[in-house]
Amino acid sequence: MWAEVLIFLTFIFGFFIANLAVPDREMSEQENKSLQQLPKFSFEALFDKTFTKQFEDYTSDQFVLRDQWITLKAAAELALGKEENNDVSYGEDQTLIEGFTAPEQSTLDANMGFVNALVGNTDAEVYFGIIPEKSEIWADRFPARTPNDSEAELIEYCYGLSQAHNVDLLSPLREHSDEYIYYRTDHHWTSLGAYYGFTAVGEAMGLDVPALESYTDRRVVSDSFYGTTWSESGFSWVKPDSMEIFVDAPEGLEITSYPQGSPVEGKLYDESKLAVKDKYSMFMGGNCPLHEIVTGSEGTSLLIIRDSYTDSLIPFLLEDFSEIHVIDLRYYRMSVADYIAQNGFDKVLVLYSASTFATDTNLLLLSR
């Protein structure tokens, strides 16, 4: 008995010493999050309980071998037959999938009201698309009994209310569901998936859509991509994704971005992002309130109301438009209708993934 107690105390003491000896980390690459640093003590912080909360977070975040314990927990969940960890399911071919939860109908009614208000507030042609995610297209990869509502039903309902030109993204993605159209470790579509999304946009707008085989510059730019779903899951042993570029930046392309309100030179591909955890931000440099793209091509002008799926779709549109502007409603707070009128856009594309459209509270800005 005393031997067991001694072993236990030695184990606890060893971890205590290890936690003191190992330097604190600022970032967890596996979880893709900043880690709590040692909080500064003050009596004010102690009495209002902020110090206590921050110190609890600090001890949790800086616990020695934290990443390995997270992986062990995820492996234990699988061994117990749970087949998910932190609401991420471990699916076929090491595909990490989060189930889709349908919103209240009133939320969809309100968001579609905002889209329709934009249609009524502008003379430009407005196109509207909801991108189905891998929880819909790759639903057969889910483990059995995983909760997952139908995105197809959501799309059908919203398109029934829409007064815009609807873009059928569901059909081409279903047709090519056996291809590598979504990242296994991330929630986005791949560049191949974005191409099939482009075919849907092109069909709706009457554009000439090049055949897949015509993209002779197609190349892999990373074979070590681990996305946000991987970071949430704890399933650290799965194989990484690869990332591709189909379209090189053409000569004459000019991109002006406004990340903090002032103009800076933007990039179609910021390949420096391939050296960081969030490799998907290579496309257009990641989230930004506004991009202005002058393509060097002849054609009409387009405004895109985007979520992050759109960033990998934009390269396919460059040949069809002389100018493309991209607005993110999370950061751009001005009137969209006024922006359209001031710039004289011919077409507007409102394009969101299903889960973002179901939860975004910023769509009301379309009605202003």
Predicted pLDDT of residue 8: 46
Predicted pLDDT of residue 84: 78
Cα 88 to Cα 273: distance, rounded to the nearest angstrom = 25
As a whole number, mean pLDDT of residues 293-306 equals: 95
Q: Is the pLDDT of residue 341 over 60?
A: yes
Predicted pLDDT of residue 233: 87
Q: Is the pLDDT of residue 35 over 70?
A: no
pLDDT one-digit tens code per residue, 86-130:
889 999 999 999 999 999 999 999 999 999 999 999 999 999 999
Answer yes or no: are the C-beta atoms of 14 and 4 closer than 8 Å. no
Predicted pLDDT of residue 348: 99
As a whole number, mean pLDDT of residues 153-161 equals: 99
Two tokens, residue 277: 């955890």
As a whole number, mean pLDDT of residues 334-352 equals: 97
pLDDT one-digit tens code per residue, 171-227:
999 999 999 999 999 999 999 999 999 999 999 999 999 999 999 999 999 999 999
- Angstrom CA distances, 86 to 92, 215, 231, 234, 235, stand at 18, 39, 10, 8, 10
Q: How confident is the model at residue 29 (pLDDT cuts 50, 70, 90)?
A: low
Which range has the worst mean pLDDT, 15-24, 268-277, 293-302? 15-24
Angle at 258 between CA 256 and CA 264, to 5 degrees: 50
Report the share of the chain in percent with pLDDT over 70: 78
Angle 336-343/105-121 helices, nearest 10 degrees? 30
As a whole number, mean pLDDT of residues 352-368 equals: 95
Q: How confident is the model at residue 18 (pLDDT cuts 50, 70, 90)?
A: very low
Residue type, 303: L
Radius of gyration of the chain (CA): 24
Q: Closest Cα partner for 299 from 233, 364, 345, 230?
A: 345
Predicted pLDDT of residue 121: 96
pTM: 0.83
DSSP summary character for residue 23? P
Predicted pLDDT of residue 83: 77
Q: Is the pLDDT of residue 65 over 70?
A: no
The DSSP bridge partners found for residue 131 are 353
Residues 6+ apart with CB under 8 A from 120: 163
